[in-house]
Amino acid sequence: MKTLFKLFVLTSLVVSSAFAADDVLLTSDDFVADAGNYVPLDSRWGELGVFHGNKGKLVGRFTVATGGEYNLQALYASDEKRPCTITVARAYGKSDEQTNVFATQTGGFLAKDLKWESAPKTFKLEAGDYTMTIAFERSMPHFRGFRITTDNAVPAADIFLTLIAEKKRIAEQRFCEENAQKSAATRSRLQKFLPDTEYIVFIKRATFQSSHYYTDFIDGARIFGAELCLLSLRDGSVKNLVPSLRGGLIGRCNLSFDGKKIIFDYKRQLGEGFRIWEVGVDGTGLRQLTFPPDDEEQRIAKYRMDKHNAVSQIWAGYKGIGAGLYAHHTDDFHPAYLPDGGFVFTSTRCEHGILCDGPDVLTASVLYRSDKDGKKLEKLSDNSVSESCPTVMEDGRVLYTRWEYVDNGSVTNKGLWSINPDGTASSEIYGANIAYPSVFNTARQIPGQPTKFVCIGAPHMPVGVGTILLVDTRVNRRTVDGVHYVTPEVDQQHQSRWQRPQTNQPFTRLYEPEQVSKLTIQTDKSRDGGGNTDAGPLFMDPFPLDEHNFIASFNPDKKWNDVSGYGLYYINDSGERELLYRDNEMSAWCPIPVRAAKLPGMPTVARDTQLAEEGLARLVVLDVYAGMDNVKRGTVKYLRINEHVPRPWSARRYWSGDEFDQQHSAISKNAALGLRVQHGIVPVEADGSANFVVPADKNIFIQALDEKFREVQRERTFVNYRPGEIRSCVGCHEQAAEAPIRGSRTSMPLAMQRQYDRPAAQPGEQTGARPISYFEDVQPIWDKHCMSCHNDEKADGKINLAATLTTHFNRSYETLMDWNAAPVIRENHPKAGNNHYLPPYTLGANASKLVSLLEKGHYDAKLSREEWIRLTTWLDANGQYYGTYFGKKNIKYKGEKDFRPTPTFQETQTLIPPME
């Protein structure tokens, strides 16, 4: 007997079957989705068809050879009732019929749980072509396929397996035949660039399904099955170096300097983190280098979101991620070898939550290092958000992508930074003042050119693919002049998705923040909008052969998350895109030529052992006025030392109501998303120099203050200083071209002629190291001076300065924020952009209309010097209200013991909640 089967593209395949000649079999990979994340053969669920998300449609086509009454049978797995509507319609007609399927529970979502179900009605079908549409309002079951038949027999569950295998075989054969000739020509061309190179190492796996550029390890790792491969440039053969790890996931890899070992990250299964592994290029010496912390199970039990009823529904529906997918275990990933034999990697062992993530289902990662055996782990940074994709430059420094938002748009700053292998000498490379692209991803240095880098320009969401950029840091890094598009056919000008340049856009280019509001994008004119495409051309993982030629992952035309959409290509800036390798079932990533490289040195900076023991670092500012335009010398009297504090997992709330403007725990109203604390002030000498110590391993940023302790200029970024590190800088917003100033002085800076300063208290403060809290610092001023005219019953000028509590804050604070009492950076409004350079006196107390009003004299409101300092310090703090992440903040919890606790400096440093 014969079974007639029609593929979606209407090519026929005949296979042997024990069923009637008129039977039609539709497998899960014969359906496509109108939207959303549909995986036709999801290996994680036993190669069943899985739609990741809610509400959608799947459409397939089939042909009936003989007219008659047909039964519809579905083979599916579901651990809950997920009813769907099936519509069968003539491909070229108007008549259609509907029925319901998937109405029962089978006991699970895996292939072992498959069961047959017959539709409650039959279909009267004529011979011809039809479409079948599966529509669902919520989630749909996982399914293997449908049988459309004239009999009522219940078939075996494995009837589709032979069909699927045969389809794969035919598709693979066709695929290989079509690409073999192209690949051979590209391999021959590459051998001219790589005459001594026989292999390319790369990773073969399905495309990550990530919701954001940094969430591969959180919600991207859905489709398991991966290989670490060697591609022969001689004959095109591919060898899997780690067959024993085939069932897991491999994220990224890097090569040792001698070209003999490969380091990579690997995830065995859901519920476990990525760990760092190593293997020789000959396939020997496979070993695991990092392991879960000893208390990993306790950590998962404490922090996983889906066990807490109050937030489980938020978690389950969050951007289609799915309940329980990420259990808040630790992850180690993105490794690279260091010149001393150790390795650098990114990890979530810092246990920091993302600041603009109200449900707290995401998490941050920062840089770590280890010795060669994974025995000595050391945290190199303390970022409040994420760091990723480290590689090592020819001078030994580590190049990586750093996300931050200290008084910047929250999704904008993912620029390129560098550090020494020990974490010292943290420095921006490029991108902090560029609006789009918002992510400079997977960067590598151009061989022999220490000032040039290749990277991907990507959006904040979804996954971190995009366009290939060449960055030249010899130009002013505040401008876009140093960036060249290698692949101008795709651009990124929004928070999400990509652009294909339109006819009304004369060329593809980067945009500086002040230009963003003038953009006229086809689909959305807002800064926070989406692009005009979610499909290729899209690029990833460029490896530079020189500054004009690259090998990279490339998706010519498939959707961004197509499981096999990305292959390896030779790419140049003349427009050539030549196929090197493609696989029919999985994408190819992270290509690296297997060859030895010169071993870099180990760059270092001076360290003071005594300061290191105290957990301090030393900073010397040679001239604070350098780069500070239009500020008269002698104006700056002090520097205020601030810290941007990460939100720890220990501040996670398991109650509702505290989320505000994407803040998991409210800090401000429409201003700062992250908590800042003060460490004190240090003096500035008459020549603009300063010599002082700061806490090590903290996110330190500085404000220049005048004689009234008011901000003149602020540092809208942070620097991590390692214990004992001694650093110097020219002044404010130092540029590379200003480096010669260091040697231009004819005398020793005044601050260098004496012992360094330690941060001290401002007048009226008991200690310089303290939290900044509106309710404790500022409200008492209004209570003392302003209640006769500005209260709940009488609010002169519509200004109410009463202490009355509101849902998340209090009345006076909300009044002042709505009145724009001082200019602030609204880190979520807009999210993208809002990071351009601002001259002195733009923000803070000196730009405040409240200060101007009070200084002119406002009735009997006469503030003391100490009150003025408390008020202006708050005005300089970008609108912060709370001084802690901890405690219940919604007014509905008033009366409970942890309702709006008085903040302490200690809890911001230890990250231990004041009460469990």
More confident residue, 172 or 262: 262
pLDDT tens column, 656-672: 999 999 999 999 999 99
Mean pLDDT of 650-658: 89
734 band by pLDDT with thresholds 50, 70 and 90: very low
Give residue 271's pLDDT band: very low, low, confident or very high (50, 70, 90): confident
Lowest mean pLDDT among 426-440, 520-534, 791-805: 520-534
State the residue for tokens 């397939």: 60
How many angstroms separate the CA atoms of 818 and 809, rounded?
Answer: 13
User: What mean pLDDT do residues 830-859 have?
Assistant: 89
| pLDDT, tens digit, 9 for 90 and up, residues 32-87 | 886 667 888 887 788 899 998 888 889 999 998 888 889 899 999 998 888 888 88
513-527: per-residue pLDDT in tens? 555 545 443 333 444
Cβ proximity of 592 and 253 under 8 Å: yes
Query: Residue 192's pLDDT is what?
Result: 87
Residue 212 scores a pLDDT above 50: yes
Q: Is the pLDDT of residue 635 over 90?
A: yes
Q: For residue 550, is pLDDT > 90? A: yes
- Residue 840's pLDDT band (boundaries 50, 70, 90)? very high
Question: Can you list the alpha helix ranges (DSSP code H) found in 420-492?
Answer: none
Confidence of residue 181 (pLDDT cuts 50, 70, 90): confident
Looking at residue 733, its pLDDT comes to 54
Instruction: State residue 94's pLDDT score.
Output: 54
Q: Residue 471: pLDDT above 50?
A: yes
pTM above 0.85, yes or no: no
The per-residue pLDDT for range 475-503, each reduced to its tens digit, is 877 778 889 999 989 988 888 889 887 64
Q: What is the pLDDT of residue 477?
A: 74
Rounded Cα gap, residues 377 and 371, in angstroms: 7
Residue 403 has pLDDT above 50, yes or no: yes
Share of the chain above pLDDT 70, in %: 89
- The per-residue pLDDT for 513 is 54
Tell me, what's the pLDDT at 36? 61
- Return all residues near 535 (Cβ < 8 A) that are at least 6 apart: 555, 557, 558, 559, 560
Does pLDDT of 307 surpass 70? no
Query: Above 70 in pLDDT, residue 124?
Result: yes
CA distance 571 to 89: 45
pLDDT at 816: 96
Give the count of alpha carbons within 13 A of 396, CB side only: 17
pLDDT band at 743 (very low <50, low <70, confident <90, very high): very low
Q: What token pair was written down for 607?
A: 């360290």
Closest CA to 321 of 646, 54, 679, 19: 54
Tens digit of pLDDT for each residue in 336-368? 999 999 999 999 999 999 999 988 889 999 999
Question: Residue 472 has what pLDDT?
Answer: 94
- For residue 17, pLDDT over 60 is answered with no
Q: What's the Cα-to-Cα distance from 474 to each of 438, 440, 513, 735, 738, rounded to whole Å?
A: 21, 17, 21, 10, 12
In terms of Cβ atoms closer than 10 Å to its own Cβ (0-12, 13-18, 19+), residue 463 is buried
Mean pLDDT along residues 705-729? 95
Higher pLDDT, 144 or 733: 144
The 10 Å Cβ neighbour count of residue 609 is: 8
| Mean pLDDT within 705-725 | 96
What is the average per-residue pLDDT within 162-180?
75
pLDDT at 912 over 80: no
The token duo for 296 is 């990993």
Higher pLDDT, 915 or 455: 455
Stretch 585-606: mean pLDDT, rounded? 94
Residue 593 is predicted with a pLDDT of 98
In the chain, the percentage of residues whose pLDDT exceeds 90 is 61
Q: Mean pLDDT over all residues of the chain?
A: 87
Mean pLDDT over residues 837-846, rounded? 92
What is the per-residue burial (b if ≥16 Cβ within 10 Å, else e) of 746-758?
A: eeebebeeeebbe
- Whose tokens are 């929250």? That residue is 410
Which of 116-130, 587-601, 774-788 comes out lowest in average pLDDT?
Answer: 116-130
Pick the range with the lowest mean pLDDT from 92-101, 821-830, 889-898.
92-101
Q: For position 183, what pLDDT does the model report?
A: 87
